[in-house]
Chains A and B, each alone.
Chain A
Amino acid sequence: MYIYDSYDQSIVDERVAQFKDQTDRYFSGELTEEQFLPLRLQNGLYVQRYAPMLRVAVPYGLLSSTQVRKLAHIARTYDKGYAHVTTRTNFQFNWPELKDVPEILKELASVQMHAIQTSGNCIRNTTTDQFAGVTSGELIDPRPYCEIIRQWSTVHPEFAFLPRKFKIAVNSHTTDDRAATLLHDVALKIVKNEAGETGYEVYVGGGLGRTPIIASLVEDFLPEKHLLTYLDAVLRVYNLNGRRDNKYKARIKILVKALGVEAFRELVRTEWSNLKDGPGTITQEELDRVKGHFTEPAYEKLESSKDLELQLSENKAFSNWYNRNVSEHKIAGYAIATLTLKKLGTPPGDITDNQLDATADLADKYSFGEIRSTHEQNLVLADVKQDDLFELWKEAKALGFSTPNLGLLTDMICCPGGDFCALANAKSIPVAEALQAKFDNLDYLHDLGEIDLNISGCMNACGHHHIGHIGILGVDKKGEEFYQVSLGGDAGPKASLGKILGPSFARDQMPNVIENILNTYVDQRIDGERFLDTYRRAGHAIFKERAYAKSN
């Protein structure tokens, strides 16, 4: 993984000093609430329902065991003993005191971490495939490009006060998209041209929120060295032309839609023609330097494990976990294991200080000391020997990480909702809990197969409800919490947005409504068909009819 040099460390240290000074001036009354707001937001600090919420950046979801132990320490020392994995692969603390935040940032800086630009109207954390570097079918490792973007975007002097937040994702997989790339302000797909040169397809103007839009293709081949000058051009066009009169119309997706993609492309190319081949062009030395941080760990030469076959045939629970939560590794004899944070009775994505410490231990023992966080709010050990899987499973089971539900109905994405978030219209965690409780039969869940169920507590869509096969949105009706259901969303390479089923439901109706939808699927499916495929084939109407038939 990327290791800071003295320059990287200085920037993070200077940021800590800057925020300490800003916080002091806020407490002394020198900075008003309004003036302090964007400054604290750009350091990940929201003021929420009960306390400030601090969002710590995990660039492209990659963590060392040392960093995870630091997060455990922060959860224990400054919070109530737990943290929350967000849908931007960041970590969030729900209970820190504002006065402690400068000290927390200092602790983070000591392990090469920060909270820079994790909120506010600026360039946010860049995300990518959680299996980057270890999955087969990947063109090249996308993480060096993410790190180059991280450095370029960190404290960018021109783009600290954009019309609205700005999110970039990178995908390099030839057939899969595990990062919901096309739902980003800028989506970069790493490709090779006919001459075998590396570059990017550049998509602009995707996003969720109130107006969900899939990003439009703006360049079909941007050579790799032009990445930063091109991004500068896109951001400059957005900074100057994006709407600032209405925050709900301020994202770049609205600008692209208003101008049309052709006119937008023209503006960007005109601006870029002045920057192209200038000093912002990435040098081969820099590319090589950053790539040098993402070399393969010391893999052993292994055969496919024989013990594993035996363990799988003898232990049903292990085999369930293996089938759902273990993914294929590009190196023979290794596997990718996902530790799910979706256990019944725990809000999706929550993890305790002790679990964090234990995860760090597991990573040291089984996976070269690295951990990854996913936008589906789980953790990944990416380099586990197949021979170690059985032992890992037993340890993960004892820690509550082994629910074999990866990709299944109960592996939900869920925002903190009205329990914690001041923006929410409705609670989301109790809905997740009610669904986890109702659908806790593993055989049934496995029979249902892959279903993305995503829950957001408001239109800002932090729970990605638009791209869930089943999406649930909390709405407020005259002070009461209701829930709107949509079907047919998809975050994959052929991204699609869900279609709203109809009038919203009361919270206590939700388990039955979802049951009706699932029964419709089971009745309609042709063998082997996933929920999403059945929905697309059988059509919206039949699901709608059945959902409302018995839902009172």
Chain B
Amino acid sequence: MQNLINQEVELTNSWALIQDDSADFSQQNIMIPAMYWLENQELFSDRTDVSIWFSGDADLSLFKGKLTNIPVIGINFPAFADGRGYSLARLISEREDYKGELRAIGDVLIDQLYFMKRCGFTTYLLKEGLSPKKAINYFETFNAPYQLAADIKEPLFRRKS
């Protein structure tokens, strides 16, 4: 099974991931493809139990100003070596100033958690079979990194002085 964590504890996953556009959208607590949501906003405007997820090729300019009230935004890593999700996460959390839950989904492995946290993710749906207890130890690999990012707003050279 897939375990959900944040940076401190294991969480219960209450969102059902909808992968394709032909699914049953009437069920509760669904996380649906972002483009489908955008193109059918009138269907979901009254619902507070609809979240969305982005794929790596998402065009965020289409979602400008529309993300604020979405409870959870997922970003999919189709393969752990596909790093587009890091940039998308930073744009959503820093540029769009999204304050809700930003969730990494897909090929989410232990050695990428530190990078994901730095880019603004707040929850992580671990790949099948990975231990949540173990994974929680992998958010603090580097104590004082050089770069500014979503979590630390200034680069090291400004923090030092």
Q: Which residues of A contact B (CB under 8 A)?
A: 7, 10-11, 14-15, 18, 22, 31, 35, 38-39, 121, 151-152, 154-162, 228, 236, 239-240, 244, 274, 279-280, 282-283, 285-286, 289
Contact = CB atoms under 8 A, between A and B. Distances in A.
16 contacts: A11-B146, A31-B111, A38-B80, A38-B81, A121-B81, A151-B146, A152-B147, A158-B115, A158-B119, A240-B87, A240-B88, A279-B158, A280-B155, A283-B157, A286-B157, A286-B158
A152 B146 contact: yes
Contact of B143 (A14, A159, A285): A14
A280 B157 CA distance: 9
Given A35-B80, A38-B81, A156 B147 contact: yes
B149 A157 contact: yes
Contact of A285 (B81, B119, B161): B161
B80 to A, nearest CB: 7
A161 B86 contact: yes
Contacts of A274: 95
Contacts, number: 97
Given A11-B144, A14-B141, A228 B86 contact: no
A32 to B, nearest CB: 10
A162 to B, nearest CB: 6
B90 interface: yes
A283 B161 CA distance: 11
Contacts of A160: 83, 86, 115
A279 B153 contact: yes
Nearest to B149: A157
Interface of B: 56, 80-84, 86-88, 90, 95, 109, 111-112, 114-115, 118-119, 141-149, 153-158, 160-161
Contacts of B90: 158, 236
Contacts of A285: 157, 161
Nearest to A232: B147
A35 B83 CA distance: 14
Contact of B148 (A161, A280, A286): A280
A415 B151 CA distance: 42
Given A35-B109, A161-B81, A279 B148 contact: yes
B146 A239 contact: no
A378 B160 CA distance: 37
B142 A11 contact: yes
A115 B161 CA distance: 28
A114 to B, nearest CB: 13
Contact of A159 (B83, B145, B148, B157): B83
A158 B153 CA distance: 14
A240 B91 CA distance: 11
Nearest to A236: B87
Interface of B: prevailing SS: loop
B156 A7 contact: yes
A88 B95 CA distance: 36
Contacts of B154: 279
B82 A161 contact: yes
Contacts of A35: 80, 109, 111
Nearest to A14: B142
A266 to B, nearest CB: 13
Nearest to B86: A158
Contacts of A11: 142, 144-146
Contacts of A22: 111
Contacts of A152: 146-147, 155
Contact of A158 (B87, B109, B111): B87
Q: Max chain A CB contacts within 10 Å: which of B111, B143, B149, B160?
A: B111
Nearest to A239: B87
Q: Max chain A CB contacts within 10 Å: which of B114, B142, B143, B153?
A: B142
A7 B144 contact: yes
B138 to A, nearest CB: 9
Contacts of B153: 279
B83 A162 contact: yes
Contacts of A240: 84, 87-88
A161 B86 CA distance: 9
Which 7 residue pairs across A and B have the least CB separation, nearest first? A161-B83, A157-B118, A286-B157, A157-B115, A158-B86, A279-B154, A151-B146
A158 B81 CA distance: 12
A456 B81 CA distance: 28
A279 B147 CA distance: 10
Nearest to B157: A286
Q: Max chain B CB contacts within 10 Å: which of A14, A161, A274?
A: A161
A82 to B, nearest CB: 32
Q: Max chain A CB contacts within 10 Å: which of B95, B141, B144, B155?
A: B155
Given A11-B145, A157-B119, A158-B147, 18 more contacts: A7-B144, A7-B156, A15-B142, A38-B81, A154-B146, A155-B142, A157-B147, A159-B86, A161-B80, A161-B86, A236-B87, A236-B90, A239-B86, A240-B87, A244-B82, A279-B153, A279-B154, A285-B157
Contacts of B156: 7, 151
Nearest to A151: B146
Contact of B160 (A7, A280, A282): A7
A282 B155 CA distance: 9
A442 B87 CA distance: 55
Given A279-B154, A279-B158, A157 B145 contact: yes
A493 to B, nearest CB: 31
Contacts of A121: 81, 83
Given A279-B153, A280-B155, A285-B161, A155 B146 contact: yes
A344 to B, nearest CB: 43
A10 B144 contact: yes
Contact of B155 (A155, A228, A236, A244): A228
Contacts of B56: 244
A481 B141 CA distance: 46
A240 B87 CA distance: 7
Contacts of A38: 80-81
A116 to B, nearest CB: 11
A459 to B, nearest CB: 22
A448 to B, nearest CB: 47
Contacts of A151: 146, 156-157
Nearest to B142: A14
Contacts of B109: 35
Q: Max chain B CB contacts within 10 Å: which of A157, A279, A289?
A: A157
